[in-house]
């Protein structure tokens, strides 16, 4: 009889606990991720390579996630403003960052950052890598790297190069060219690649490095002239443009990277959903074809491999930054 009473009391206690947990259990079931729109922070203004990548992938990502994905451009401070927003966001998967090479450059370029790139983020996917192309305004009258170097040496400090901001990949590419070629160029920083391209096309600045897809139309219309690519291989969209190594300039092998990241405390299950959705979106033939047309080399790595790739690029670009002597503060 005593045992029966104890069993009944235990059953009553369990029932009471289940009643208390019931709403929470129901809420978990109803709030399967994602249950509301996702904000994708692009830490640059519209018009640059990172924004272009987002606008290719997001329309395909929306039906896979079955939720809206809102692109939020937060440019400034060589991507650090938007990147910091992601670092400090609620780690629930509803604020996601699409970062570029600045993310792996800034730890070496800046003495102090408002976030820790190694500690405050988790990788979801490295979407792509790709080269940058050096484009010049036709008024310079040069069509080869050799001719540009000769002109720069004849007019030290007179030639200008634009960038998407101090510390961005296209800024550091210019700094590396100065070191590799032994020339003096004047840096003109902008708040994004879009405004920089506009001023190079207008002839306000002499040249810049850019992601090939962002300037393909301008090059085709002869408003810009492409003379060399960094990285280790040519891009099929500009098959006649040599790499710097082919043009006789060593030390320009570094390439760009684009990756999706979330705050470090984001649950693994949420990261898995995001990674799977991105994988499906990028696997669509029309998306892969479009990315290739724009100059991206698709990687689509899983989170673990992506983290390793990002660490490798951080070391590679860190060496390049130190060799160039560039500092942002």
Sequence ranges of the domains in the chain: 38-129+255-324, 133-229
Q: For residue 9, what pLDDT band results from cuts at 50, 70 and 90?
A: low
Among 3.40.30.10, 3.40.190.10, 1.10.287.130, 3.40.50.300, what is the CATH number of 133-229?
3.40.190.10
15-68 per-position pLDDT tens digit = 454 444 444 444 443 469 999 999 999 999 898 889 999 999 999 999 999 999
pLDDT score at 308: 97
pTM of the entire predicted model:
0.77
Do residues 238 and 211 touch, judged by C-beta distance below 8 A?
no
Do residues 252 and 177 touch, judged by C-beta distance below 8 A?
yes
Please, which residues have CB within 8 angstroms of residue 299's CB and are 6 or more apart in sequence? 126, 127, 128, 129, 306, 309
Fold agreement (38-129+255-324, 133-229)? yes
Strands 69-73 and 207-210, bridge-based pairing: unpaired
Percentage of residues in the chain having pLDDT higher than 90: 72
d(CA 249, CA 269): 46
Residue from 100, 91, 93, 88 nearest 43 by CA: 100
| Higher-confidence position of 232 and 281 | 281
Please, which residues have CB within 8 angstroms of residue 152's CB and are 6 or more apart in sequence? 159, 181, 183, 184, 185
d(CA 250, CA 252): 6
Q: For residue 142, what pLDDT band results from cuts at 50, 70 and 90?
A: very high
224-234 per-position pLDDT tens digit = 999 999 988 88
Q: Is the CATH number 3.40.930.10 carried by domain 38-129+255-324?
A: no
- Count of beta carbons in the 10 Å neighbourhood of residue 319: 12
Please, which residues have CB within 8 angstroms of residue 250's CB and are 6 or more apart in sequence? 180, 244
pLDDT score at 321: 85
pLDDT score at 12: 53
H/E element, 41: strand 38-42
Whether the pLDDT of residue 10 is over 70: the answer is no
């Amino acid at each position: 009889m005593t045992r029966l009473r104890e069993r009944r009391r235990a059953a009553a206690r369990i029932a009471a606990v289940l009643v208390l947990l019931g709403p929470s259990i129901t809420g978990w079931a109803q709030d399967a991720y994602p249950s509301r729109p996702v904000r994708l922070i692009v830490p640059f203004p519209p018009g640059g390579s990172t924004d272009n990548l987002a606008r290719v992938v997001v329309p395909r990502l929306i039906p896979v996630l079955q939720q809206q994905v809102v692109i939020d451009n937060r440019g400034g401070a060589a991507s650090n403003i938007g990147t910091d927003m992601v670092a400090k966001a609620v780690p629930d998967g509803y604020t996601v960052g699409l970062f570029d090479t600045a993310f792996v450059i800034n730890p070496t370029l800046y003495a102090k950052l408002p976030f820790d790139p190694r500690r405050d983020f988790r990788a979801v996917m490295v979407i792509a890598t790709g080269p940058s192309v050096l484009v010049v305004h036709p008024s310079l009258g040069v069509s080869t790297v050799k001719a540009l170097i000769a002109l720069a040496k004849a007019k030290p400090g007179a030639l200008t190069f634009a960038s998407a901001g101090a510390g961005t990949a296209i800024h550091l590419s210019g700094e590396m060219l100065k070191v590799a070629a032994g020339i003096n160029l004047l840096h003109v920083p902008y708040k994004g690649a879009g405004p920089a391209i506009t001023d190079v096309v207008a002839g306000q600045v002499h040249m810049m490095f850019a992601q090939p897809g962002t300037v393909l139309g301008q090059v085709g219309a002869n408003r810009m002239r492409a003379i060399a690519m960094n990285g280790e291989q040519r891009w099929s969209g500009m098959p006649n443009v040599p790499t710097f190594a082919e043009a006789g300039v060593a030390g320009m092998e570094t390439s760009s990277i684009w990756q999706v990241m979330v705050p470090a405390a984001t649950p693994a299950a949420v990261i898995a959903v995001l990674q799977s959705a991105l994988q499906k979106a990028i696997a669509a033939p029309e998306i892969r074809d479009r990315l290739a047309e724009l100059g991206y080399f698709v990687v689509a790595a899983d989170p673990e491999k992506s983290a390793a790739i990002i660490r490798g690029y951080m070391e590679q670009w860190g060496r390049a930054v130190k060799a160039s002597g560039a500092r942002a503060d």
